Structure 1
Amino acid sequence: MMTLPKIMICGSPRWAHDEVHALFDGIAQVIVDDAPTRAEFFSRFQPGGSYDGTVGIYRRNVSAARIGIFDRELVEGLPPSVKWIAHNGAGYDSVDVHACKEKGIRVSNTPGAVDEATATTALYLILSTLRHFSNAERSLYAGTWKTPISSGNTHDLTTRTLGILGLGGIGLHLAQLVHAFPMRVLYHNRRHRTDVPEWCEYVESLEELCARSDVLSVHVPLHEETRGLVGEREMRAMKRGSVLVNTARGGVVDEEAMIRALEDGHLASVGLDVYPDEPRVNPRLLAFPQNALLPHTGTRTRDTERKMEVRAMTNLRDFLMTGSGKDIVPELR
């Protein structure tokens, strides 16, 4: 009797429970990781342990509460049998891909599945920062009606210029949304894209993008090259009174430089869904009522979460069926 390969669900899916059975029935033995600590997680990979022989892992961020992120220590502690980690998320900074590469482990993520939810979150933050909607809502709850909202500090989107840093799937979806107002759309990538609408104007440098934008929206992944990418120089290149929006990762933006720019009025406001030290939020950001701040809820919809779960598990299934799979992160291609 043929022994089926063993895969691990590390962080149970929230919505796609039926798909676990549909995708892996007859092709894999599915085990669910419930190790309460990292030490116990490692011990179960020992010969004869319940995790022994695992070849692939579906990983959801919720597992970090028990065993921590997939940092170098965790990756190096995995047995040689593990060849694929299907990360459930577009951002994959919680997985040490360089350590995975050294061990011959492929890592996939879920690009595309998060485009709509993250882009609409960015659109909300743009609307809220330009119109001060978040502050207005707080005034209603506080019983002060429109006080202290002033029309002199608020702006329409029409005729404003949006600069998109990273015109991938999320950035392009946002570009299409704001084009309806219309806003002028500029973007900066590592390279010029020829497969986007002609009204998406490529800008050669990040500094030029900052200088020409009324709103800068950040959509690049966090890794060694992008940490602190939007720093003091870039923010000071932005127009006085402009807006910074970040739905990517908090570490892409230099938080101290951003707060200084808010304090001296160079930035009118910021719209943030991500922070460098989540779930901690720098209390100095709360001192600016014009800011729009969310607790990393960009992909927090039932529809998007289910798409992410199915896509991550499908990547793992493809690996089992073909020895390869889609959505391999760029560092491992």
Structure 2
Amino acid sequence: MSTLRDRRTTARVLVVDTAPNEMALTELAAFADLGLVPTVNLRRVTDAQLRARIGARYQTVDFDGFAENELAAHIEDEGRGFEAVKCRAGIPITASVLERATARSLQRRLVLVGRAAVGSDTFDRAAAQRLGVAIRTTPGANAAAVAELTVALMLDALRGVSRRANALRAGSWSEAVKDLPTGSLVDARVGLVGSGAIARRVADLVRAFGAEVWVFGSPRFTAERAAGWPGQRVERLGELLAGCDVVSVHVPATPETEGMIGADQLRLMRPGSVLINTARTSVLDERALDQALRVPHTGPWRAAVDVFGTEGPSFSSVLADNPHCTLSPHAAGMTWSAMQTASRRLVDEFARFVNDTGILNSAAR
């Protein structure tokens, strides 16, 4: 079977959202070098000069990639179709989108979807497998960035940095010094729910502050695997919640983790403890957390959350007016370094797929 490089203009990739700023041009050129002809969605490219530079080199479109029907229609492209789709976070690659993208009536059928991010919780993996669509992501690419913000949110929850700044801006010194002295990471016990790359990085960081680390992982996190960890393995979630001053959530969105921490679990937490969620909202019930934070002396005292059930321009959350919770706009992985790494790794994943399978060649009809 010939490789895609032998037929450079035969395969098309729809880039639903590019890498940010100048990284976009590097990423698009890399796809072109693989023999993939990009069509670029400019909806999230705000810089006019960059839009013009992309438009001078590649075919462009402008649509809402988060709208399922718009996404499916642009992948169909009036019957022309695409072999590959590249996106970042939150794009809904649902069963309906996949079925429309692989219809036999299309000149080109989708065989590869790539996401320059860790998870694929907005992808219907079962449908992708059934329809022969490969999924590629970039696990670990943003581990350092997410861990860094996680620790920043821990410190904000413990020390009240943003709350005190807001009080001073409002002219209230008395409110700014409320609840002093505070807790800290020094001599605190930090519990990590999850044992992946991000949790491991968080463990290293908080230990540098002088914290003790407990870890509750999946069944795969055996005593043997935990032996090299900078922390103590805990076998029950309830034990970790009841025994830690700070609890940070780092598990993916799966059927097994959905609703993992609800009202019953929150009641186990120590009075004065703090809870951080930079993972997924399906793991931690927003409404239960809101209610727990409003009841003094039971459950967590403060929280900081980076993920929500409804994000983007239509953002809403019961936590939005909770004075005991710091909010962050799903920005944990958004550093220049992390996004550059994710873009580069996804291009590498596409290259391996092209060179190892040759499927993109046979997909074009």
Is the pair's TM-score, using the shorter chain for normalization, greater than 0.5?
A: yes
2:57 corresponds in structure 1 to none
Q: Following the alignment from structure 1 to structure 2, what is the Cα–Cα distance between the partners of residues 218 and 257?
A: 15
Q: Following the alignment from structure 1 to structure 2, what is the Cα–Cα distance between the partners of residues 26 and 233?
A: 52
- What CA deviation, in whole Å up to 9, does each residue of 1:232-254 have, x standing for no partner? 22111211221110001112101
Report the CA distance between 1:274 and its aligned residue. Answer: 0.9
- What CA deviation, in whole Å up to 9, does each residue of 1:181-233 have, x standing for no partner? 11110111112262664541111111111111111100111122212111122
**Equivalent position SS for 1:234:** helix
Q: Does 1:105 align with 2:133?
A: yes
Alignment of structure 1 residues 93-132 onto 2, 5 Å: 93-132=121-160
Equivalent pair of 2:272/2:301 in contact (CA under 8 Å): yes
| Closer/same/farther in 2, CA of residues 238 and 29 from structure 1, 3 Å limit | same
Q: Following the alignment from structure 2 to structure 1, what is the Cα–Cα distance between the partners of residues 86 and 208?
A: 38
Q: Does 1:12 align with 2:25?
A: no
Equivalent pair of 1:117/1:301 in contact (CA under 8 Å): yes
- What CA deviation, in whole Å up to 9, does each residue of 1:155-200 have, x standing for no partner? 1211111110112111111100000111110111112262664541
**Equivalent position SS for 1:123:** helix
Equivalent pair of 1:70/1:95 in contact (CA under 8 Å): yes
Q: Does 1:187 align with 2:186?
A: no
Q: Following the alignment from structure 1 to structure 2, what is the Cα–Cα distance between the partners of residues 166 and 295?
A: 22
Alignment of structure 1 residues 129-140 onto 2, 5 Å: 129-140=157-168
Residue 226 of structure 1, aligned match among 239, 257, 277: 257
**Equivalent position SS for 1:251:** coil
Residue 254 of structure 1, aligned match among 257, 281, 285: 285
Report the CA distance between 1:95 and its aligned residue. Answer: 1.3
1:298 corresponds in structure 2 to 332
Equivalent pair of 1:134/1:291 in contact (CA under 8 Å): no
* Letter of the 2:93 counterpart: F
Structure 2-normalised TM-score?
A: 0.79
Q: Following the alignment from structure 1 to structure 2, what is the Cα–Cα distance between the partners of residues 278 and 18?
A: 28
| Closer/same/farther in 2, CA of residues 75 and 196 from structure 1, 3 Å limit | farther
* Letter of the 2:7 counterpart: T
Q: Does 1:237 align with 2:268?
A: yes
1:274 corresponds in structure 2 to 307
Paired residues in the alignment total 313
Unaligned runs of 5+ in 2: 42-60, 64-69, 104-108, 359-365
| Closer/same/farther in 2, CA of residues 189 and 100 from structure 1, 3 Å limit | same
**Equivalent position SS for 1:171:** helix
Q: Following the alignment from structure 2 to structure 1, what is the Cα–Cα distance between the partners of residues 348 and 284?
A: 33
Residue 354 of structure 2, aligned match among 314, 320, 323: 320
| Closer/same/farther in 2, CA of residues 102 and 198 from structure 1, 3 Å limit | closer
**Equivalent position SS for 1:237:** coil
| Closer/same/farther in 2, CA of residues 43 and 30 from structure 1, 3 Å limit | closer
**Equivalent position SS for 1:312:** helix
Q: Does 1:21 align with 2:29?
A: yes
Q: Following the alignment from structure 1 to structure 2, what is the Cα–Cα distance between the partners of residues 205 and 221?
A: 18
1:331 corresponds in structure 2 to none
Structure 1-normalised TM-score?
A: 0.86
2:45 corresponds in structure 1 to none
* Letter of the 2:175 counterpart: T
* Letter of the 1:282 counterpart: S
1:205 corresponds in structure 2 to 236
**Equivalent position SS for 1:261:** helix
Q: Does 1:32 align with 2:47?
A: no
Q: Following the alignment from structure 2 to structure 1, what is the Cα–Cα distance between the partners of residues 187 and 194?
A: 21
1:75 corresponds in structure 2 to 98
